[in-house]
Amino acid sequence: MAGLDSERPAVHIWGCGEGQLRELGVVCLSPEVYGDALGWERAARTPAVVWHPHQALLVVSGEGGLRQWTPAGVTEPEGAPAAASYRSLAFSPDGQTLWGAPSLRDEGGGWESSDVLDLASGTIGAGPGWDTGVAEHPGGGLVVTLASDQGATHCLFARVGQGTAPAVMRPLRRALILDCDGYETPLFSADGRHMAVRGNAYDHSVEVFEFPSLRRVLATTLGDPSPGYPYPQEWLDQMETWSRHNIAFGPQPGVLWIATPRGVLVEVDVETRKPVEHEVLTGSRCSALAATATGELVVASSEGELLLMSVLSDSPQAGPAGEDVASAAATGFLEATDEVPDDADDLEAYLVLTDGTRTWEADDLSAVTTASTTDPTWLQLQAAINKVRLASE
């Protein structure tokens, strides 16, 4: 298990075998503390972290380049340029390829493309544009990532071949569109039937989508909505209170856990939307929540506490049957869409978009000229742009 240091660009690693926590090491990219750095300045100094999918190997990117941790210690990653510093990192599902964004290649286009690092040969190739991390669907062969913009964020799905090096994400036409930007990496449930997205830059929102249908089954805002920009101090204080990393799927299918500033974990059935509160911390807020690969929950507190918890429930947990369900969900999604052509100059022109309730082909959006104040911001902007364009033709 790995966790970011709150005071400096460093990552702590713990072992959590047999239900016990013990610190194993630290990867420190810089001894200089964050101090008064906030917002983008703080984010620029915060390390990107990714675990290898099959080994006790952690790669960290940030100030000073790339580092990797294994139980043997901290070294520079083999087959990758040590000076490379990416804002987002991900391993391919087979662990043979490291993906980095934005692109650092001289001929690259920044956030418009990414780097594909073949760790065996040390070569660096080009990949599609993405940001904010990559999540693998538990059914295999499918990943999801984000392509963010201030007006809207595309939640992109991609096919990934197994055992081919270097592994490259091949974007698919079916995609989600989310309002605004500032989202965290999507999360899949253990059985692959639900996907949750935490965001955004303006609201502490949580959305859950059924998979493979992409039907939205839960949408809520944590705390009061944003009053708008520029941000008043009382809202900035609220942003600091609610953690950005406060949701996780546990071992039970269809159950999402949400950590609150009151030190309470809320267990939510995403279909019935029935919440159950669990008192976990006293006198401190939850600063982070995550799930381990074996289904335990990990909670960090604002007072520096770290808790490893097993979830006891009469509900069924994901097992061999859950693996079959996940595989069927991934296969169903892949069979219902096509890959975007390799030579596509404009990705958006090929996407079939849904917000979880409505679906748009690219041609549909180019014809929209009206939108209400209750529609997403991106749709209102699209309608206004189309109206001006059509009027000038």
Query: Hey, what are 137's tokens?
Result: 């669907």
Residue 15: the pLDDT is 93
CA 112 to chain centre: 18
* Dihedral-angle region of residue 214 (phi above 0 means left; psi in -120 to 50 means alpha; beta otherwise): left
Average pLDDT along the chain, 393 residues, taken 10 residues at a time: 93 89 93 86 91 95 91 88 86 93 72 87 89 94 92 94 80 95 94 94 90 95 61 57 90 92 91 90 88 91 90 65 87 96 86 94 86 88 89 83
Residue 192: the pLDDT is 96
Q: Which residue has the tokens 């950590």?
A: 259
Task: Count the Cβ atoms, other than its own, within 10 Å of residue 389.
Answer: 11
163 burial level (CB within 10 Å; 0-12, 13-18, 19+): exposed
Could you tell me whether strands 170-179 and 352-354 are parallel, antiparallel, or unpaired per DSSP bridges?
parallel
Instruction: Give the model confidence (pLDDT) of 20-56 as tens digits.
Output: 889 999 999 999 999 988 777 888 899 999 999 999 9
The CA distance from 159 to 161, in Å, is 7
Task: Count the Cβ atoms, other than its own, within 10 Å of residue 203.
Answer: 17
Residue 249: the pLDDT is 96
The CA distance from 246 to 199, in Å, is 11
Residue 227: the pLDDT is 47
Task: Count the Cβ atoms, other than its own, within 10 Å of residue 42.
Answer: 13
Contacts of 375 (CB under 8 A, 6+ apart): 383
Instruction: Give the model confidence (pLDDT) of 186-233 as tens digits.
Output: 999 999 999 999 988 888 899 999 999 999 999 998 876 554 545 555
Query: Hey, what are 107's tokens?
Result: 């001929």
**Residue 286 to residues 247, 260, 289, 293, Cα–Cα distance (Å):** 11, 6, 7, 21
Contacts 24+ apart (CB under 8 A), 221-227: 222/246, 222/258, 222/260, 226/202
Residue 42: the pLDDT is 86
Q: What is the pTM of this model?
A: 0.90
